[in-house]
Chains A and B, each alone.
Chain A
Amino acid sequence: EAGVVQSPRYKIIEKKQPVAFWCNPISGHNTLYWYLQNLGQGPELLIRYENEEAVDDSQLPKDRFSAERLKGVDSTLKIQPAELGDSAVYLCASSRRPRGSKQTNTEAFFGQGTRLTVV
């Protein structure tokens, strides 16, 4: 089974430029997460999708960050314009919870991340 696939692996851009990251979750996984990870820190949740609905975007800086998950499968995360402080690794993860289930406790699988450097 293929894991979570992210692209690109690395991206270097100048500040004020836009950038986009793409994520393909594990087939059948209805929950998708975007995390930001700074060097030496744990991942911080940016946004969480249940199918195509963003159910938790409280940590997403909406003035410059946006995300979408059309058709409830692949997702893109965009930053426009990028700032120097956005340099970090952006991780995508997915998990599966049966529709209509209130069960939590679902393991999330992570992609390798996109390392963004803003210069």
Chain B
Amino acid sequence: GESVGLHLPTLSVQEGDNSIINCAYSNSASDYFIWYKQESGKGPQFIIDIRSNMDKRQGQRVTVLLNKTVKHLSLQIAATQPGDSAVYFCAENLYDDKIIFGKGTRLHILP
């Protein structure tokens, strides 16, 4: 069916280490993917996006990788900081700006 899901509901990472959050999507026709960060009591906040004609995109401390062959998306956060604690959602743009979210991964930062 049309769904975007995440492999792990919770991820704990030592402060300063790199974090990798994974996402599997099921709709091969999706052409645009977005990672959002949601802190407690706030709405989702855009982190980084990637189009289907790319396999990697880098931002500030974040990198998104797209593997269309296995329909897999990942978000890498370098040198994880306490402020990175949040729930991370991947989302796919099915068509005409219909954005569908996965269930989310909660990232815990260990001191």
Contact = CB atoms under 8 A, between A and B. Distances in A.
Contact of A42 (B41, B93, B102): B102
Contacts, number: 63
A4 interface: yes
Count chain A CB atoms within 10 A of each CB in B44, B45, B95, B101 and give the residue with the most: B44
A40 B99 contact: no
Interface residues of B, number: 26
Given A42-B103, A104-B32, A105-B31, A110 B95 contact: no
Interface in B60-111: 89, 91, 93, 95-104
Count chain B CB atoms within 10 A of each CB in A42, A91, A106, A109 and give the residue with the most: A42
Contacts of A40: 103-104
Nearest to B100: A45
A94 to B, nearest CB: 11
Assign chain A's interface to a size class. Answer: 20 to 34
Interface of B: 4, 31-32, 34, 36, 41-46, 49, 51, 89, 91, 93, 95-104
